[in-house]
Amino acid sequence: WDKQTFPKQRIGKKSDAGIDYDVVYHHLKLRIDPRTPNMSGSVVTQFKPFTDISRVSFDLSDTLVVDSVKHQTETLTWTHQDNILRIEKSVGLFLANEIDSLEIFYHGNPTRHTSRAYTRETGRAQSSTPIVWTLSQPYGARDWWPCKQGLYDKIDSLDMTITVPVGYKAAGQGLLQSTKTVEDTMVAFHWKHRYPVSTYLIATAVTDYVEFTDTVYFSNGNKLPILNYVFPESKPFMEQPVKATIPIMQLFDSLVGEYPFINEKYGHAEFLRGGGMEHQTMSSMGSWSFGLIAHELAHQWFGNQVTCASWTDLWLNEGFATYFTLVAREALQDRETWEYVQRASQDRAMRENGLAVYVEDTLDVPRLFSSHLTYNKGAQLLRMLNWQMGDSLFFKALRNYLEDTNLKHGFARTDDLKFHLESTSRKDFTEFFEDWFYGTGHPHYDIEWEQQGQNVSLQITQTTNGTTDFFEMPFELRFRNDEESKLFIVNPTSNVYSTTIQVGFAVDSIDFDPNLWVLATHQIVQTDSMDRDVVIFPNPANNQLTVYSKDETITKLEVFDRLGRMVLEQDVESGSALYQNLMLTGVTHGYYILRVTNEEGTRPFPFIKI
């Protein structure tokens, strides 16, 4: 999902409800009136125990009230505490590998939870009509219905019957089967979904929606309805922007395969939360920008068809959706727009250098949904993999990943993705994932160059600002003058790396990574006569750095860190020795700039303290 501020709280112990059975089917029968915060209903669950059991447990918030539990014609006993509903079978057992069913009747006010998984609002700008909407990711499903909300069991099949006041509509998963007036003042919307679905991707939204449908046609002759539930006041302003869904879906279909729920629909339901949420077959939308439409649509493949098997791997959902938004912009919008958004994504990805894309604490919800790490750095990891593999192999690997029978409409870990990238490309990405996924930070490249004849000599120094000592990553350099330019790929194999490239023309300047493939910062300096007159060594340095001055005119040495803070200063007596020793014993390891001042001015020299 996209762009939301989460409450900074821990949600408590991970639930083990439902670990001893497989959910086969749910039918949510809910009565929702947006004019009140209360709701009521029942949930039918068909399940298959792994072994003979006498108890079935569900995740359910303690603030909701269970009225009764039915098993066939029998009313069962239950206990409900610590947000777990435990249902006892008084006679006999729920038998292993046999489908059984329960119906849980309950009611309450689910708007009380800070998770906002079930929210009632009246904040529409041009209407006082209230809206109720749900958004369960990551741990909120239990706050509004009895379920099994872990990432290890998809529901094979789903029905939702949402009864609402006349004049309101209820959005849902799958295809709308019927609308039936009941009690004269209420109408029941029956939605039917026949694809596996994760608990957190089940949702509804209820208000006075108006609807319209677009249609997307695919190259193989298939077509799909795009159903839009929008506020009446919004329809004139978003009817055209939402049509961007059509070419974006056609693009994704061509790159990674058929829309995963092709026999049903895709759609949007407007709501008041910032950003959007990729509810299966009907995304909830807080706005109608091209980027948000592409992001939530991409999730139908990455996150819904194949879902992360642990929140530690949430980048498999959010990194992919962010990356495919960039892919859509590059293919369907102008170069200037794509480049602006790509640079912004790279900038965000480099703002948080103390943590990895891999999430260690899955109860830290703000960290889970870090824009810097899970979304943008995750997206940039995929772009760098795309760069190393090329489009053909990269998108083939993604198709293989999505079609893997062990993963399709199921769950995946990062190692599953890695397997398909490696088996398709015949490359080993172990070091890549160690550096970029489990490691922290990013590289900075200081590049010094000098041309002699047709050859350009390069000295490339890589420093890092995280736990990764050296990032193995090739990158492009564009050599150019006013009339000519050439691209070359360099692939440094150590922190300090030298190479010579035969360019063939006089070079005025060099551009680093002009196609924005690599997550890195850089500085490029052309060696001139002053650089040759002043030399620093060794580089990297340990406890001492020596500065050689050909003409003995140095007056000051200053050392600055990456944030521009001076950490060391040394005045030099005029006319002193050719060699000046700078002691670094009090300087921590990392990347620094030595500023050397002489009669000609001040020049920077990058170095590494080890």
Q: What percent of the chain has pLDDT over 70?
A: 95
Q: What is the mean pLDDT of residues 112-126?
A: 91
Under the banding of pLDDT at 50, 70 and 90, the label for residue 592 is confident
Under the banding of pLDDT at 50, 70 and 90, the label for residue 547 is confident
How would you label 13-39 residue by residue, b for 16+ Cβ within 10 Å and e otherwise? Answer: eebebbebbbbbebbbbbbbbbeebeb
pLDDT in tens, 129-168: 999 999 999 999 999 999 999 999 999 999 999 999 999 9
Under the banding of pLDDT at 50, 70 and 90, the label for residue 440 is very high
pLDDT exceeds 80 at position 579: no
Our CA angle for 196, 32, 61, nearest 5°, is 65
Element (H, E) at 567: strand 566-571
Least confident of 219-223, 308-312, 542-546, 596-600: 596-600
CA dist 310 and 293 (Å) reads 25
Between β-strands 39-49 and 100-108, what pairing exists: parallel, antiparallel or unpaired? antiparallel
Q: What is the 3-state secondary structure (H, E, C) of 424-484?
A: HHCCCCHHHHHHHHHCCCCEEEEEEEEEECCEEEEEEEEEECCCCCCCCCCEEEEEECCCC
Token couple for 472: 């193995």
Token couple for 433: 């994932």
Helix (H, G, I), strand (E, B) or coil at 557: strand
Q: What is the mean pLDDT of residues 178-190?
A: 96
Helix (H, G, I), strand (E, B) or coil at 151: coil
The per-residue pLDDT for 533 is 67
**C-alpha R_g of the chain:** 30
Between β-strands 118-121 and 65-71, what pairing exists: parallel, antiparallel or unpaired? unpaired
The per-residue pLDDT for 431 is 97
pLDDT in tens, 46-58: 999 999 999 999 9
pLDDT exceeds 70 at position 9: no
Under the banding of pLDDT at 50, 70 and 90, the label for residue 62 is very high
Between β-strands 556-560 and 566-571, what pairing exists: parallel, antiparallel or unpaired? antiparallel
The per-residue pLDDT for 603 is 81
DSSP assigned state of 393: H
Under the banding of pLDDT at 50, 70 and 90, the label for residue 450 is very high
pLDDT in tens, 506-539: 999 999 999 999 999 999 998 864 345 677 777 7
Half-sphere exposure of 520 (CA within 13 A, CB side): 27
The per-residue pLDDT for 366 is 95
The per-residue pLDDT for 531 is 47
Q: What is the mean pLDDT of residues 182-190?
A: 95
Q: What is the 3-state secondary structure (H, E, C) of 334-387?
A: CHHHHHHHHHHHHHHHCCCCCCCCCCCCCCCHHHHCCHHHHHHHHHHHHHHHHH
Between the alpha carbon of residue 341 and those of residues 299, 547, 579, the distances in Å are 19, 42, 48
Determine contact, residues 307/151, Cβ cutoff 8 Å.
yes
Q: Which residues contact 601 (CB under 8 A, 6 or more apart)?
A: none
Q: Average pLDDT, whole number, for the chain?
A: 92
Under the banding of pLDDT at 50, 70 and 90, the label for residue 12 is very low
The per-residue pLDDT for 416 is 98
The per-residue pLDDT for 1 is 52
Least confident of 321-330, 406-415, 466-475: 466-475
pLDDT in tens, 264-284: 999 999 999 989 999 999 999
Q: What is the mean pLDDT of residues 20-31?
A: 97
Element (H, E) at 396: helix 391-403
pLDDT exceeds 70 at position 3: no
The per-residue pLDDT for 6 is 33
pTM over 0.95? The answer is no
The per-residue pLDDT for 577 is 62
Helix (H, G, I), strand (E, B) or coil at 522: strand
